[in-house]
């Protein structure tokens, strides 16, 4: 397996020279400065690649080449947006990119209610609280019909939290939820989010699926021609949010996606944290079921609560048996090698991490501290080395 590391380019508080000290071999990044829907210029891609190479890394995975929200909504004439997307794909392929990670989550890329939840023995982590999310939907943005997504107990707890919260508490909650908005452009207050949600009214699961199928039909033939592999990132969290449907949340969803357009380019980014937040998901079993279509992997762990809340655990300490999961990926690598498949090694990255020691002083992107992720990478490296040794492949 190839050790990767997520880097936010010029927006990142962590330098490539520091990432080099973690031992990671491959940088996972994107052109975060380019607005969604615009073409990624080949020159800019080449400059980014040269900077990464000069620091001693490879750049094989883009995370992500974003899908414009109008495509997700199926809104208007999408000809130019699809043409721009395909041109960006061609420019990436021309510069040696092999894998494109992307998601099809409407409006929000990911959602958390706490960016600095305390961790036992020190440090902080990202957390999703059903109680706070319900309070936000029911009592702060007052979304019509929101109560249908919560139990009576959730609603009672949400009301209690809201009534005892201070204006500062509510501001912190808004900031945490807004952190999941993609890119560097749009951040909303409560009223702004209400307006941003309006264009999605009436977008149900079936409509979103059909818009997704069209996206796959538009880009997968080009991906095959260019030798690119696509890996869809699962929903984070794997549940409807703010009335927006989520359609990449479990094995059945993944099977639908991979069957919608039967192409070797159409694959999965296996995110153990996103999938692991759904109590019905057996993440190692999902990895086994779709192993030949895993084009990229995010390895992290979550600890779930009975009410549906969860927090990001240490990489080897959550609800998913990481050794079992990694064993499935190593088995797939051996199968690929035996079949002569060129992309036999799976690139992974330690996804997220606790803020530890002086991480908090850096102001890095939420979930992407230096020390916390380095701990995660070291733990995963140990699991891989141990499994390889046990199988006689050390």
12 is catalytic: no
User: Which residue in 271, 295, 315, 354 is the catalytic one?
Assistant: 271
SS3 1: coil
Q: What is the structure's pLDDT at 184?
A: 47
**What does pTM read for this prediction?**
0.94
The whole-number pLDDT of residue 391 equals 81
Query: Residues 23, 381: contact at Cβ < 8 Å?
Result: yes
Q: Which of 203, 222, 223, 220 is nearest to 211 (CA)?
A: 203
Q: Which CATH class is domain 2-110+204-390?
A: alpha beta
CA separation for the pair 201, 358 (Å, rounded): 43
Cα(349)–Cα(354) distance, rounded to whole angstroms? 15
CATH 3.20.20.150 domain extents, the chain: 2-110+204-390
pLDDT at 187: 66
Annotated catalytic, 315?
no
Return the pLDDT at 255: 98
- Are β-strands 114-118 and 124-128 bridged in parallel, bridged antiparallel, or unpaired? antiparallel
Known catalytic residue at 365: no
Q: Which of 68, 295, 315, 352 is catalytic?
A: 352
Q: How far apart are CA 191 and CA 194, in angstroms?
A: 5
Query: Does 8 participate in catalysis according to the annotation?
Result: no
114, 351, 354, 359: the catalytic one is 351
Q: Is 344 a catalytic residue?
A: no
Residue 182: per-residue pLDDT: 60
Per-residue pLDDT of the chain (394 residues; tens, 9 = 90+): 999 999 999 899 999 999 999 999 999 999 999 999 999 999 999 999 999 999 999 998 999 899 999 999 999 999 999 999 999 999 999 999 999 999 999 998 899 999 999 999 999 999 999 999 999 999 999 999 999 999 999 999 999 999 999 999 999 999 999 887 765 456 678 888 888 899 999 999 999 999 999 999 999 999 999 999 999 999 999 999 999 999 999 999 999 999 999 999 999 999 999 999 999 999 999 999 999 999 999 999 999 999 999 999 999 999 999 999 999 999 999 999 999 988 899 999 999 999 999 999 998 999 999 999 999 999 999 999 999 998 877 5
- For this structure, is 101 an active site residue? no
- What pLDDT was estimated at residue 230? 98
* 314 neighbors 288 (Cβ within 8 angstroms): no
CA distance 115 to 173: 9
């Amino acid at each position: 397996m190839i050790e990767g590391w997520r880097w936010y380019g010029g927006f990142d508080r962590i330098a490539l020279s520091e990432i080099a000290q973690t031992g990671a071999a491959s940088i996972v990044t994107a052109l975060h400065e380019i607005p969604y829907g615009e073409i990624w210029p080949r020159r800019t891609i080449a400059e980014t690649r040269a900077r990464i190479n000069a620091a001693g890394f490879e750049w094989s995975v883009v995370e992500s080449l974003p899908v414009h929200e109008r495509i997700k909504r199926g809104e208007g004439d999408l000809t130019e947006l699809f043409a721009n997307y395909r041109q960006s794909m061609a420019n990436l392929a021309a510069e040696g990119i092999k894998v494109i990670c992307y998601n099809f989550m409407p409006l929000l890329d990911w959602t958390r209610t706490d960016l600095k939840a305390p961790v036992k023995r020190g440090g902080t982590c990202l957390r999703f609280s059903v109680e706070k999310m319900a309070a936000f939907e029911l009592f702060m943005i007052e979304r019509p019909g929101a109560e249908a997504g919560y139990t009576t107990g959730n609603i009672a707890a949400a009301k209690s939290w809201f009534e005892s919260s201070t204006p500062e508490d509510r501001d912190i909650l808004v900031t945490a939820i807004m952190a999941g908005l993609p890119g560097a452009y749009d951040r909303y207050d409560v009223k702004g989010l209400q307006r941003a949600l309006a264009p999605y009214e009436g977008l149900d699961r079936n409509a979103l699926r059909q818009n997704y199928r069209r996206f796959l039909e538009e880009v997968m033939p080009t991906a095959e021609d260019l030798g690119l592999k696509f890996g869809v990132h699962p929903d984070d969290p794997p549940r409807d949010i703010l009335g927006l449907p989520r359609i990449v949340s479990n094995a059945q969803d993944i099977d639908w996606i991979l069957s919608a357009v039967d192409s070797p380019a159409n694959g999965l980014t296996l995110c153990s944290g996103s999938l692991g937040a759904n109590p019905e998901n057996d993440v190692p079993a999902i990895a086994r079921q779709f192993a030949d279509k895993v084009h990229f992997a995010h390895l992290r762990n979550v600890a779930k609560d009975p009410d549906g809340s969860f927090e990001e655990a240490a990489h080897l300490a959550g609800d998913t048996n990481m050794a079992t999961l990694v064993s499935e990926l190593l088995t797939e690598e051996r199968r690929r090698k035996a079949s002569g498949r060129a992309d036999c090694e799976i690139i992974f990255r330690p996804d997220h991490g606790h803020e530890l020691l002086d991480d908090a002083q850096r102001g890095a992107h939420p979930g992407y501290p230096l020390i916390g992720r380095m701990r995660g990478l070291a733990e995963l490296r140990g699991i891989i080395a141990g499994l390889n040794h046990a199988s006689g492949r050390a």
